[in-house]
Every structure is written in C-alpha cells, then in structure tokens.
Amino acid sequence: MTMTWPSRLWIVRHGESLGNVARDAAMAADLARIDIAHRDIDVPLSPLGMAQSRSVGRWFASLPEEERPEVVLSSPYLRAVGTASAIVEEASLGSSTWFVDERLREKEFGILDRLTRFGIESEHPDQAEFRQLLGKFYHRPPGGESWCDVILRLRSMLDTVSLHYSGKRVLIVGHQVVVLCLRYIIEKLDEEQILAIDREGDVANCAVTEYRTLADGDGELKLERYNFVAPLLEEGTEVTDEPDARIAAR
C-alpha cells in the first residue's frame, strides 16, 4: 500500500502567551474584556512560554537524529512562530523544511474577540443563547468561525501534507482548537467524541500530541500520545493549560 501520511506527525500547542496571562487576570477580576493591546496574530510568548518552548525543543533534540522532525509547519501567529523557532533552534532542525501556513491559525471569534464569558453574556446575550443552543462545534459568531470552519481549512492543510510530505516526519505548531480539530479529522471522530475529549481538560502549552504510521499496518496514523508534558516536567518547567485570550468563553 502506498503511504500517503507522514511516517510520524507531532502536533504541539504554542507556549504560554501574554494573552493567556491577560485572560487569567480578566477572569480572576470578573471583567467583561481582556486587557491586551496586540492584534491576536501579534500576541507574543510570555517568558514562561519561551522557556516551555525551549524545553520541548530540547526533548526533540534528545531523539536520535533520524527520528527528529524533517518538516516544521507553523501557524503564522507570533506565539506559534516563536514556539516553532525555539524548537528548531534547540533541536538543531535548521536543515528541515520550515514555513508558516495560515490554515493553522487560531479560531477567529469575530465580535466576541477579547470578551470573557461574563462579557459575552452582558454585551451579546443573543450570541450566548445561540452558542448554548447550537453548541461550540457549530456556533459561528458574527465575523468569526465555528469549529467546523476550522476543520474545513485543516482538511485542506492535511491534504497538502499528504501530497508533499508522505513518509516524512512532520511537526505542526498551532493552537488548542487546532490540536483538537486535527484529532477530529485524523481519528475520524464525531462531534460528541471530540467534545468529550475537550471536556477532559485543556491542551497544555507546549504539550505534544504524536502519531505514527505503522509500516505493517493499514497506512493510517495511530495516536501514540496526547497532551504529553513530560518534556516540561523533566526540566522542571511549569506546565500551564490556559485557553487563549480569544477563547475565554469556551
């Protein structure tokens, strides 16, 4: 059987960002809005987020050279690019193919951008009601995206990966919703299955999700680990799992 998937696929959520920190402060103070000046694309890593990124980069460096990523794909958002850059540097992946792909960007929240749950309920009660009725998988706020919209662009991205990187070792650096939606596609899950995984807990910053294509199998990617944070724990780096600033209402 001709292999169409990468031989190994890692999906890493970006390190803690300043948006994560601002979100926590807003939620703790019961504020309606998250106080952050940057566009979402420009939100950088926090100092802890950079340390997390370097820790996971050193974990990749500890792998035999022939098992490290050959291709690195990143969301264009600054916090994801910063994470990917730190991993590439620490793991000496300079010879790998590395580029950004806008299809890996964060879910867009439209008019709900920067609002906490309290802010959505007070400023857009109709959207709070629609989200309750439709569920997060299908609800699309005005100017924003539903999970289904994210899945649509990620299907296209995975087609590109399959076409150009079959049999390669590929690392994707993205966002929490991207990690979950990629699981939905790769594992052929349904709405309830992926939302059940989501309810179990947030994806940790710089956590590793890993798939492997078994040579003697059916050519499908098999999940080996999810939300794997040992690379951080082994170095004593703090583990954080806050949703991004733009998803305070999740």
Mean pLDDT over 87-93 rounds to 95
CB of 60 within 8 A of CB of 93? yes
Identify the band that residue 93 occupies on the pLDDT scale cut at 50, 70 and 90.
Answer: very high
Write the CB contacts of 85 (distance below 8 Å, at least 6 apart in sequence): none
Identify the band that residue 20 occupies on the pLDDT scale cut at 50, 70 and 90.
Answer: confident
Identify the band that residue 3 occupies on the pLDDT scale cut at 50, 70 and 90.
Answer: low
- CA nearest neighbour of 221 among 70, 2, 9: 9
| 3-state helix vs strand vs coil in the chain, percent to 5 | 45, 15, 40
Higher pLDDT, 156 or 114: 156
Tens of pLDDT, residues 211-237: 999 776 567 899 999 999 999 999 999
Q: Give 12-31 as a DSSP string.
A: EEPPPBHHHHHHHHHHHTT-
- CA nearest neighbour of 36 among 132, 138, 111, 116: 116
Q: Which two tokens stand for residue 132?
A: 């309750």
Q: How far apart are CA 4 and CA 25, in angstroms?
A: 45
Asked if residue 142 has pLDDT above 90, the reply is yes
Highest-pLDDT range among 22-26, 120-124, 243-247:
120-124
What's the confidence (pLDDT) of residue 195? Answer: 96
What's the confidence (pLDDT) of residue 216? Answer: 61
Q: How far apart are CA 136 and CA 138, in angstroms?
A: 6
Task: Kindly provide the residue ranges of all beta strands, DSSP E only, lying in 111-160, ordered along the sequence.
Answer: none
> What percent of the chain shows pLDDT beyond 70?
88
CB of 21 within 8 A of CB of 215? no
Q: Domain 8-247, what fold?
A: Rossmann fold (3.40.50)
Indicate the average pLDDT of the chain: 89
What's the confidence (pLDDT) of residue 1? Answer: 42
